[in-house]
Structure 1
Amino acid sequence: MRDRLAAAPNGVLEAVAAESNVSLLTVTECLPDGLRAFASGETAEAAMLDMAEWGTVTVLVHSADLVLECKGPLPRGQFGRGFYNLAGGSPIGGHIRLDRCRTVGFVRRPFMGSADSASVVFFNGDGEAMFKVFVGRDDARQLLPDQVERFEALKARLCGAPGQTA
């Protein structure tokens, strides 16, 4: 799997996981070192609070039956009644069982014809994505440079050295 992903890291990782009968986290761990880094799920709230300052992002939920995307600013949240509750004022809202997050992944790679994509992936204990937050794009479909800087800074803060797990 490592060789396959090193040769072609731009496919749908969920499809690779399904074909290989492994978790998305296992597939993501097989990406080349420079394309991924991991932090403990204990850093999930810190990641969410940081991303709430980024501006418009895309939140994606991918299941076997659905790929749902929502664009907008990620609201600040707080814990209550067993959930991390996202505040109102954005198209993005809801209630997340953030305590179920075991790993926060930072993935930056080419994807389906785009030169670059960058996402923060929240993995549960089964190694599946709870949801992903993608760095925003401009009208020319290029990643927003200020968000890329914030992504890289958050990754460095939560993960330490590239490709390492905190």
Structure 2
Amino acid sequence: MTAAVAQISDRRERALAALAEKPDGVVEAIATAADVTPAEILAILPKDSVVIAPKESFLDIWNELTTWGVVLFLVHTEDVVAEIDGSLPVGSEGHGWFNIHGDSPIGGHIRKDNCVSISFVDRAFHGRRSCSVWFMNGKGSAMFKVFVKRDEARELIGEQLQKFETLRDRYATL
């Protein structure tokens, strides 16, 4: 076994052990515990938990997400987890950025070209089903995530869940 293969195997084993310890925990925390990337954790989730779409689908997926109504937009860094409820504005490209502005608390600029894939994640989170769309960068981290919202009873909103499943299934067959 070459050193590179051994290192990949070791990373995978650490990721599997950390995931087994907290299977419904925060992916970034599991990745940190294993000293791997969040993408490496997503890669070892059960097959029906993650569907990956190519980066070329960014605009199609974003445009579909703008029809979902109020979502939870989440940015998770090492220092901050920012959660914003709002509708995703339609974006436009300019000056090297994907610009989002509109009548929503969600706005700003995204380096669309840094997105290497989009993951549809459907897994348990602290004992409850959670569905989200992760826009992944080349470092193996989520640039940002868009979550199906919950209602007052903490249940996933049915209409958004259906839209998530339909969009995810479109890419599951690729």
Q: Normalization by structure 2: what TM-score?
A: 0.86
Identity score, percent: 43
Pair 1:71-2:85 in alignment: yes
Pair 1:85-2:99 in alignment: yes
Q: 1:6 to 1:18 in 2, by over 3 A?
A: closer
- Aligned residues between the structures: 160
Pair 1:14-2:2 in alignment: no
Q: Which residue does the alignment assign to 2:153?
A: 140
Q: Return the letter of the residue paired with 1:64.
A: E
Instruction: Name the CA distance, whole Å, in 2 between partners of 1:7 and 1:67.
Output: 22
Instruction: Name the CA distance, whole Å, in 2 between partners of 1:100 and 1:159.
Output: 23
Q: 1:108 to 1:12 in 2, by over 3 A?
A: same
Deviation at 1:159, TM superposition (A): 3.3
Give the unaligned 5+ runs of structure 2. Answer: 1-14
Query: Which structure shows the bigger proportion of residues in helix conformation?
Result: 2
Deviation at 1:7, TM superposition (A): 7.3
Q: 1:45-64 to 2 correspondence within 5 Å?
A: 45-64=59-78
Aligned CA-pair RMSD: 1.5
Could you list the structure 1 runs, at least 4 aligned residues long, displaced by more than 4 angstroms after superposition.
Answer: none
Instruction: Name the CA distance, whole Å, in 1 between partners of 2:44 and 2:85.
Output: 29
Give the unaligned 5+ runs of structure 1. Answer: 161-165
Q: Which residue does the alignment assign to 2:4?
A: none
- Alpha-carbon displacement from aligned partner over 1:43-97 (angstroms, at most 9, x marks no partner): 1111110000000100101111111000011111111111111121001111101
Pair 1:5-2:35 in alignment: no
Instruction: Name the CA distance, whole Å, in 2 between partners of 1:7 and 1:150.
Output: 32
Higher RCO (C-alpha 8 Å, min separation 6) = 1
Instruction: Name the CA distance, whole Å, in 1 between partners of 2:62 and 2:74.
Output: 14
Deviation at 1:5, TM superposition (A): 3.4
Q: Normalization by structure 1: what TM-score?
A: 0.90
Check conservation: 2:18, 2:30, Cα contact below 8 A. Answer: no
